[in-house]
Structure 1
């Protein structure tokens, strides 16, 4: 079995080890107490604490498949079982180890990383700090709580019209998530983001423009996040990540730093965004007010009567709304051309007079 297949197989039915988390499945070195009640009906009659399992029984108790268990053995993730006749005999330590692996897979670790962590665990190094660091990084990075919204409420917030294409795009972008078994209800990971989209749409921005802007914005924000992580890794976290897996103490200290530094990224972006918005909004406003003042000044000049044929020709060329601007630009260009001709002519006459003199 490939590594990907083993990981997928381990997740199947992993819930049968419910209650095994960072404290239970991972915190029990020998396996005693981790799943002491699980699989009780499959034991071979040994006394409590010395349970024995055939591979099929171990698969049933752990939620993993027989094929997955064998793949773990091949990769060195499970201790070698006792050979008894033609059968392998597994014990509580194997069950605890399978639950450790399932727990770490659920936390996002690859099998290669899990092997390194378990080797460190077997060597006497704790995993509590490492798992605490993982929890800090993979936990929520915002205080905002997800919400649910019905299809009817969604349609009402966006103009009262059903738009299946817009819904599909919102799901693709992660603004909405479908609820299994509920076609008329959606999970909203960020209610604030959905509210922004609703306000923009109410102000007249098309949904296609909103989704396009979100895609562009997301790419830019992901670049900012990547740079912030590179920056903090280089100057703060490199000393904790020099050896893999990190020691329990280093991982715990790094987790504390993540808690301290996590708000800084958002605070920095908020401050810089506020500064940039003020700068560009002011510049934008001055530009348009200046253009309006120029237009008012220009409109104080005397209107010029043009032949209807000329006006129609200009309108056919540039459109009715641009006739005045075109005529003004053409007149200005003609004035400039004649001014240049006059200057050149004056210079030529002056040279001729000098030569005759």
Structure 2
């Protein structure tokens, strides 16, 4: 009759059953240095409660979005005597909601009525793909609406005569531009604010707590900056647009002096021509310059806001 192990000791199969990991996964964690080696007793490997706790810790960090490489660094910090509480608090702060808006639900009947009364399965599928609507498992007559404000904007545009395919196309374009702004803001704040917390070691609890506090303070700044710049741009371009359509009857803003032609290096022009074709060189250079101006404006406004904090 085989000898049974005490309840606090496990063979690898028992450890796999208790932790929910597979035997293969446990061995892979050992090979990566994430899991301590078991105790060798004769011809058997024996695992303990520390192994089970470590496996549950790894599973929790994976659920939070950490990679195995990051988890190894965190666990090494834990083993060196530094806690994970501050780091996990920072993760919770970053992963928390970035808006006060609450999700809502809408029935398919109400959705159809909101957008003209005629069912449009293709438009619904497009909205689901864009994340404006989310399907609810087991309920094909109701949808989750992550952002009721965004859905309301789409409804107002459609009521004003904008086709649904034009709305979805505009949203795709807008989303790409907003994601660029978000990436630039994160690069900017990482370089000037968070770099000291993001070295080649996990931060201490105190550092992580300080970083989490900064996330709370800086979280609204990106939206405030975009709101201010959007209001400025909308006023500028709406005025110009109205002047054009009214035959410039309104007083025009003084024109900027002509900066004159700008000479670009020949190799730059060749590279652009090879990339977009001869017919699109001027448009590409103009768009690239405008994008750089917008990025620098965002950086300047962000720096100004940070300096007032």
With the length of structure 2 as denominator, give the TM-score of the two structures: 0.76
Residue 213 of structure 2: aligned partner? 256
Cα distance in 2 for residues equivalent to 1:161 and 1:100: 51
Specify which of 161, 169, 177 is matched with residue 212 of structure 1. 169
Q: Does residue 102 of structure 2 align to residue 102 of structure 1? A: no
Deviations 1:200-221 (A, max 9, x none): 1111100000000001100110
1:132 and 2:89 aligned: yes
Distance 2:140 2:31 in 1: 43
Aligned length: 247
Residue 268 (structure 1) shift:
0.9
C-alpha offsets along residues 80-108 of structure 1, whole Å, 9 cap, x if unaligned? 11123333221111111011101100110
Instruction: Supply the distance in 1 between the matched residues of 2:167 and 2:249 (Cα, whole angstroms).
Output: 29
2:134 corresponds to which of 177, 181, 202: 177
In structure 2, the residue matched to 1:223 is: 180
Secondary structure at 1:126's aligned position in 2?
Answer: coil
CA 155–58 in structure 1, closer or farther in 2 if over 3 Å, else same: same
- How far 1:192 moved relative to its partner? 0.8
**Distance (Å, rounded) in 1 between the aligned partners of 2:180 and 2:240:** 26
Number of the residue aligned with 1:194: 151
Could you say what secondary structure the match of 1:52 adopts?
A: coil
Residue of structure 2 in register with 1:66 after alignment:
23
- 2:122 equivalent to 1:165: yes
CA RMSD of aligned residues (A): 1.7
Q: Is the 8 A contact 2:132 2:146 kept in 1?
A: yes
Indicate if the aligned counterparts of 2:243 and 2:249 stay in contact, CA closer than 8 A: no
1:272 maps to 2:229: yes
User: Which residue of the partner structure matches residue 256 of structure 2?
Assistant: none
Shift of 1:286: 2.0
Q: Which structure 2 residues correspond to residues 19-30 of structure 1 after superposition, within 5 A?
A: none
Residue in 2 that maps onto 1:16: none
Aligned to 2:198: 241
1:76 correspondence with 2:33: yes
Larger radius of gyration: 1
